[in-house]
């Protein structure tokens, strides 16, 4: 049976991910190559739809970077990168992904494991509902090791949100390199990048307004990092970078509020 094919515009409509972000995922190796139908026309199929949804879950609920996802998916789901398939995912595949993620965490440095555990937990559950014990269990370390790296949960949270801003800026730069699509496109691309981080940014803003030590300065650094990333890739006559960031964040909040949990529960420890 011949699989159904989609144009880029149809893929964007089905997934809610901007075309530039799809091209970034292709360049990063987290999506299989599309079928070339003509000189400048490529077609996609259900693998691309399901993988894009999976990538969003992995980023939003597990806090995984595109680089980590790029190492996991082609190795664990090779069939999806070789040929079209109906019903792409099976229960054993989810188990493989979780097992591989745990292996990666165990092989990383303690600081890297703490940072990635913080990403996953703070983004999914929010700052108030995460305890240091939770982070240590997720990072596969003893609680005593935590304090050799961070003096408090708040310090880890600040490290997480600052790393988030750096990753978001780098991802925006990578999608911009795939082609300029104007002000609306820049806002759309940055919003898609920020969706997994909405809880982090809102919690940081809340803690800053409550005058928790260091969080106000961290909020300024995060905003400046995002604005700087946009400014470094703005075209002549584009929206001011700070306005682009503001619009993108509001759009990200809207999308995050509408996004169902779906398969996310499969990724919770």
The pLDDT value recorded for residue 186 is 83
Question: Which of 75, 213, 222, 235 is closest to 154 using CA atoms?
Answer: 213
Q: How far apart are CA 108 and CA 139, in angstroms?
A: 10
User: What is the pLDDT averaged over residues 71-77?
Assistant: 70
- Does the structure show a pLDDT above 90 at 181? no
**CATH number assigned to the domain covering 8-267:** 1.10.357.10
Tens-place pLDDT, residues 243-256: 999 999 999 898 88
Q: Is residue 14 scored above 70 in pLDDT?
A: yes
Q: Is the pLDDT of residue 171 over 50?
A: yes
d(CA 150, CA 159): 9
> In degrees to the nearest 10, what's the CA dihedral of 247, 56, 75, 266?
160
- Locate the domains of the chain by residue range: 8-267
Q: What pLDDT sits at residue 63?
A: 63
Q: Is the pLDDT of residue 55 over 70?
A: yes
Are 161 and 84 in contact by the 8 Å Cβ rule? The answer is no
Highest mean pLDDT pick, 41-50, 79-88, 94-103, 256-265 = 41-50
* Average pLDDT, rounded, for the chain: 79
Report pLDDT for 66: 79
- For range 203-209, the mean pLDDT: 95
How confident is the model over 14-37, as a mean pLDDT?
83
Provide the percentage of residues in the chain whose pLDDT is more than 70: 75
Q: What letter does residue 2 receive in the DSSP assignment?
A: P
């Amino acid at each position: 049976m011949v699989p159904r094919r989609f144009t880029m515009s149809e893929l964007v409509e089905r997934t809610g991910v901007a075309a530039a972000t799809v091209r970034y995922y292709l360049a990063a190796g987290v999506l299989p190559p599309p079928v070339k139908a003509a000189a400048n026309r490529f077609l996609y199929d259900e693998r691309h739809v399901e993988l894009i949804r999976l990538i969003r879950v992995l980023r939003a609920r597990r806090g995984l970077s595109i680089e980590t996802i790029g190492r996991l998916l082609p190795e664990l789901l090779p069939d999806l990168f070789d040929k079209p398939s109906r019903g792409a995912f099976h229960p054993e595949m989810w188990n493989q992904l979780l097992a591989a993620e745990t292996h990666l965490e165990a092989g990383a440095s303690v600081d890297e494991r703490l940072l990635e555990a913080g990403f996953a937990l703070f983004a999914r559950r929010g700052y108030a509902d995460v305890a240091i014990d939770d982070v240590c269990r997720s990072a596969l370390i003893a609680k005593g090791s935590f304090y050799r790296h961070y003096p408090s949960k708040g310090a880890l949270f600040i490290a997480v949100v600052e790393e988030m801003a750096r990753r978001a800026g780098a991802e925006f730069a990578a999608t911009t390199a795939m082609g300029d699509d104007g002000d609306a496109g820049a806002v759309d691309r940055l919003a898609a990048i920020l969706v997994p981080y909405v809880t982090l940014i809102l919690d940081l803003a809340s803690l800053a307004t409550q005058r928790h030590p260091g969080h106000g300065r961290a909020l300024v650094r995060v905003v400046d990092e995002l604005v700087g990333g946009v400014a470094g890739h703005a075209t002549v006559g584009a929206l001011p970078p700070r306005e682009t960031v503001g619009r993108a964040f509001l759009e990200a909040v809207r999308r995050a509020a509408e996004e169902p949990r779906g398969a996310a529960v499969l990724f919770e420890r």
